[in-house]
Chain A
Amino acid sequence: MKKSLMLAMALALPAFGVHAQATPTPADTTVYEDASAALILAAADETDSSDEKTFAAPDDFEDEDLLWLDDEDDVILDVYDPLETINRGTFWFNDKLYFYLLKPVAKGYRWIMPEPLMLGIGNFFSNLASPVRIINAGLQGKFTDAGNELTRFAVNTTIGIGGLFDTAKDHFNLKKKEEDTGQTLGYYGIGPGPYLVLPFFGPSNFRDGIGLLADSRMDLTYYLWEDRDYWAAIVLKAVNTVALDKDTYEGIKRDALDPYLFVRDAYVQYRQNKLDN
C-alpha cells in the first residue's frame, strides 16, 4: 500500500495492510532444521511409548497423529531484526502517539462523522492512489490486474463521483487488489533487508520503506495539494482509517504476550503473502 498507511494504520494493523519482509539468518535456519529432525524423532518415540503414556491422559496423547498437519506451505518465520533495540524504541513512540493523540482524535472524528461519509472519504483516497496499483501491477507483468485497476479508476472517478463510491466493486464486481513498489522490488528479487519500524508509518523494512517513498510519488494526493494542505490530507486519511478500524491494535496490545513481536511477525507474514499473490 501507500501512504494510506500513515500513522495509525501502519502502527498496527497486521490485518489491514502494511509492508515488510525478512531474511533468514544462518543461525535460525539451523534451529529449524533441528526442529524438524526432533519432531520426526518425537513422532517415532511417541508411537513406541504411547502405551506407557496412556496413564497420563488417555485422550490427550495423540502426538504421533499431528505431524502430518505440517504443510509444505507453512510459513517458517525467520525475521532478520538486527535493529531490534532501536525498533522497539520507535514502536514505543508510535504506541504512545496512537493512544494519546491519534486515537482520541479519531474517536471525536467518529463521533461527528456519519459512517457513509467516512467510507466515502476512505474510497476517495484509495481512488487517488490507483496509479500506485496500476503502475506496480504493470511493472510486475500482471496486466490483467493493471487493466482491472485502470477500469476501476475510470469507473469510480466518473460514476463513483470522484472516487467517493466504489461503484466498480459494488456494481461491476471489480475488486481492488493492492500492489505497491515494495512488492515490485520483491518481485524482481530484491530482499527486504532488516526489519524496520518507521516513526509514524509503523512496521516496514528497508525495501518497503523505499517502496513507500516511491508510492507516495505515484499517489495523486501528492499532486493535488501542496505543503500544509498535503499533510493535512495525509492526516485526514490516517484519522479516517483509524476511525473506521475496529480497534485492531488495541486487540493486539491486550492479547499478545509481546506486542512488538506479534506486530513484527504479522507484518512479515502479511507482506510475504502479498508477494506470493
Chain B
Amino acid sequence: MLKQLFLMLAAGIALTAATIASADSTPTDAIRGSVESILTLLQDKELDQTTRRGKIRKVINARFDFRAMSQRTLATNWKKASDEQQKEFVQLFSKLIENTYIGRVEAYTDEKVDYPGEKIKGKKAVVETLILTASADIPVNYKVYLKKDKWWVYDVIIEGISLISNYRSSYQEIVKKDGFDGLIVKMKAKIKELETQPA
C-alpha cells in the first residue's frame, strides 16, 4: 500500500518535472502547447460556455504578457500615466484582449493549425502559425520573448496586422481627444457591455 503510494508520487513528480522541463524548449513548442490546449477546450462539448471561457482565460494568462502589451500599446502615454493608472490600464486591457482573442478563436473551433516555422533572435522569437480553414489559410504569427525560461507572447500578428500596433494607433487617438481618463472610461464601458451581452 505504502509502496504503491510512493510509486505513484514518484511517477507524479517525474511527470511534472518532465512537463516543466520540456514545456518551453522552443518557442514553437510553447505556442503549440497553448494553442492545442485552447483547441481541446473549444472542442470539449461537455463544457458550458462560462467554464470553457474561464479555462481558456487561464491558458491565455499563462502565455500572454499583458504588461508588456500594455506598455507597448500606450508607448509615450504609459510613461505619463501614474502607477495606479498603469495598473488599472493593464487590468482593463487584459480583459479586452482576452475577450477579443476568445471571441475570434471560438469562430475557428474545427480548424487545423499548422506550424510552418519560427525565427529566433536572441531572447526574442516569432512563431508562425497557419490556421487552415476551408476557404483560406490565415497566417497568425506570435511575437514572443524569453522571461525566466518561459516564452511570453507580446504581440499577435494576423495577416500582417499587428494587434498591438492597431491598438496603439487607436488608443493614441482616443487619448488625444479624451485624455487618459477618457480612455479608461471607454474601456470600462466596453467591458461592461461585453459582460452584459456576451457573444
Q: Which residues of A line the B interface, CB within 8 A?
A: 14-16, 31, 34-35, 38-39, 41-42, 53, 56-57, 60, 62-63, 65-66, 68-71, 74-77, 79, 115, 119, 122, 175, 244, 246-247, 250-251, 254-258, 261-262, 265-266, 269-270, 272-274, 276-277
Contacts and interface: CB of A to CB of B under 8 A. Distances in A.
Contacts of A122: 135
A75 B165 contact: yes
Contacts of A35: 75-76
B187 A257 contact: yes
B166 A246 contact: no
Interface in B129-178: 134-138, 143, 145, 147, 154, 158-162, 165-166, 168-174
Interface residues of B, number: 49
B37 interface: no
* Interface hub of B135, B145, B154 (most chain A Cβ within 10 A): B135
Q: Which 9 A-B pairs have the closest CB atoms?
A: A273-B160, A246-B107, A261-B170, A77-B169, A35-B76, A255-B100, A75-B165, A265-B169, A42-B79
The binding surface of chain A is classed by DSSP as helix
A269 B186 contact: no
B76 A60 contact: no
Contacts of A39: 75-76, 79
Contacts of B107: 246-247, 251
Given A34-B76, A38-B79, A119 B87 contact: no
Contact of B103 (A63, A255, A272): A255
B96 A255 contact: yes
Interface stretch (B1-9, B15-23, B46-54, B64-72): B64-72
Contacts of B194: 254-255
A38 B161 contact: no
B7 to A, nearest CB: 37
15 contacts: A39-B79, A60-B67, A68-B123, A77-B166, A175-B137, A247-B107, A251-B103, A251-B107, A254-B199, A255-B190, A258-B170, A269-B160, A269-B162, A270-B161, A277-B160
